[in-house]
Structures are given as C-alpha cells and as structure tokens.
Amino acid sequence: MASFFDEIARNNLKSFILLAVFMLFFSAILYLVVFVLGGGIIAFAIGVLLLILYAAFSYFSGDRLVLAISRAKEADQKQYADLYASVEGLSSAMQIKMPKVYIIDDPNPNAFATGRRSKPSVAFTSGLLSMMNKNELEGVISHELSHIGDNDILVMTIAIAFAGAIGLIAAYFRNMIFWGFGFGGGNRNNGGIFLLVAFAVGLLAPLFAILIRLAISRRREYMADANGARVTRNPAELASALKKIEAYEKNPRATPVMHANEITASLYFANPFKANSIMNLFSTHPPIEERIKRLEAMY
C-alpha cells in the first residue's frame, strides 16, 4: 500500500506548492498595481482583505449555487437505496460526514462533490448511474469523497478566487492599454513603467493565473484517484470507470454536461465539456489516459 500513500503525498505537496506560488504571484501583482497607481501599504492590505472575504464567502455559500446551476435534485433515499448505501459505507470508511446525495438528469457520465467537511454534498449524473456497475460506481464515489476529505473544495475555492481577482485587475489594465483610461495614476512621471506594468498585468498575468489554477486542479484529481483507489483497495475498478468515460467521450454522439461552465468544471469527476472542443485547451482535468495509466501502475 506504500505506493498509494506515496502518490497521495507527492500530489498533496505539489498542489500546495502551486497554491503558495499562486498566492505569492497575486501578492506581487497587487503590489505592482498599488505602486503604479500611487497607493500605499494600506491599499495593499485592503485588497488582500477583500480577496480573503470573497474566498470565504464562496467557500461557505458556493455549494448551494453550484447545485442550483447544475440542476441537481436531492436523491430519493428509497429510489436510490443502493447508491445511498455505497455513499454511506465509503463515507464511514473515510471517516467523513455522510454527504447529501443529488442526482443530475444528464446522459453524460459524471459526478462532483461540493461543500465542506461539515456540510458536504455529492452529485451524480443519471448517465453515470446507468453506465457503471457497482464496483466502478464505488470507485467514482470514493474519488469524490476524497475531494471532501482532503478539503479540495477549499483549495480550489482559493485558487478560483485568486484567478478571478487577477482577471478583474487584468481587465482594468487592458482598458487602460486599449482605451487610454487612467494612464499615469499616482506616478505620472513614470509613464514608461506604467505602460510596461499595464501590459504585463493586462495581457500576461491572466494566462499565468489560468495555468497555475489548472495545474492545481489536475494535481488534486491525481490525488483523489490515488486516495479513492486506496479506500476501495481496487484501483482496477476506478480505471475501468475512466475507460468507460473515455469511450463515451470518443463517441461522435457524446454530449457535454448540459449545465457545466468554466467555474464548475473543476469540480467534476471528468472533463464535463465535449471531447476535442476548444474548452479542452484549458481543461481543469488531466488526460484520462494518464489517469488510467497511473491507476494501472497501482495494481
């Protein structure tokens, strides 16, 4: 079992290093903005405080919004008795609170977890439930419960908050570049420096922020795969579930998750967008082939 724990430890360390880099990157961007616009340390502190408040609000209230956007309905316990039994058993094994169970009426085989350890929820598409056998479904469930147990929702909420804040700052500076608004700020004698900072923040910073966020998300997916396989002691079944999803994605008639968007995409078990679409250029998920390869190495 050492390989499972080694895989989890490596991915955990790398994802938190990436998150630390993200936070430092944002701090540097915010400091540059404050410097160029003539602000001081108080303005910098206010910016950081506002971001923390935004991330906290998203973490504590975002689950209800995600479930509503996804058109998730709470599952009837009698109708989905087997699903409830699997979720309850695996939750007990992982020593986390039994989450609320939701169903999404969608043919795309997928699932996601949301909420926090004290108030977790897990949602499954009807397509996933119809496609997977019991052991494969338990592999998917254990993966999603791992996201809850490892506080991945908190990690991704912070990453999304930082990426969103950088995006807003970048939009402001792009307006300055293309429309000439507010050039000079509080440092009117430093027009050249301002233009250079505006270009870097407005055009390059958002791309770097997206790449870091995607890297964090992909690391968390690898970790959830490893931890899910550890709990079920059956990496082959989780790999089998991914193979079925891979086959579905290659079908020309495959459809994306109907109500998924760029914000909620990172929550899903597999990329919720249509295979080979432009959204896959910035996929929050590692390639399914690589996930299968890593799970097969654990047999």
Q: Is 180 helix (H, G, I), strand (E, B) or coil?
A: coil
Query: Which of 270, 263, 245, 259 lies closest to 72 in space, CA to CA?
Result: 259
Of the listed 144, 221, 237, 249, which one is catalytic?
Answer: 144
Q: Does the annotation mark 249 as catalytic?
A: no
- Largest Cα–Cα distance of the chain, in whole Å? 71
Query: Which of 298, 154, 136 lies closest to 227 in space, CA to CA?
Result: 298
Query: Which of 155, 159, 135 lies closest to 146 in space, CA to CA?
Result: 155
Task: Please state, as a whole number, how many other Cβ atoms lie within 10 Å of the Cβ of residue 93.
Answer: 12
Please name the amino acid found at residue 206.
P
Please name the amino acid found at residue 207.
L
Using the Cα atoms of residue 114, residue 117, residue 118 and residue 121 in order, give the sign of their dihedral.
Answer: positive
Q: Which residues are catalytic?
A: 144
